[in-house]
């Protein structure tokens, strides 16, 4: 690596809007984020799933005969 052209890489503090504080390594010393693994619905188990089966049935009712004819 060439000397003097790379930014300093060191310990950084990441603060989430929920209050969770993480320590990591980065070229930026302090970071503010809106969502972290402590408050994101995917990681907390609070994620709701969309009823895709109802959407598929609705599509088949509307376009099922037309889609079958084009095959």
What is the token pair recorded at 28? Answer: 């930026």
Q: How far apart are CA 10 and CA 15, in angstroms?
A: 16
Q: How far apart are CA 8 and CA 63, in angstroms?
A: 58
**What number does CATH give the domain 10-70?**
4.10.80.400
State residue 53's pLDDT score.
66
State residue 52's pLDDT score.
63
State residue 50's pLDDT score.
65
State residue 44's pLDDT score.
72
State residue 10's pLDDT score.
95
Residue with tokens 């088949």: 60
End-to-end CA distance of the chain: 58
State residue 66's pLDDT score.
67
Average confidence (pLDDT) per 10 residues, the chain, 71 residues: 87 93 94 86 69 74 72 57
Question: 10 by DSSP, 3-state: which?
Answer: strand
């Amino acid at each position: 690596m060439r000397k003097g052209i790379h930014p300093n890489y060191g310990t950084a503090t990441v603060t989430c809007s929920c209050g969770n504080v993480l320590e990591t390594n980065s070229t930026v010393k302090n970071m503010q984020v809106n969502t972290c693994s402590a408050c994101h619905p995917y990681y907390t188990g609070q994620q709701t799933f969309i009823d895709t089966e109802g959407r598929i049935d609705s599509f088949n009712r509307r376009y099922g005969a037309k889609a079958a004819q084009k095959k």
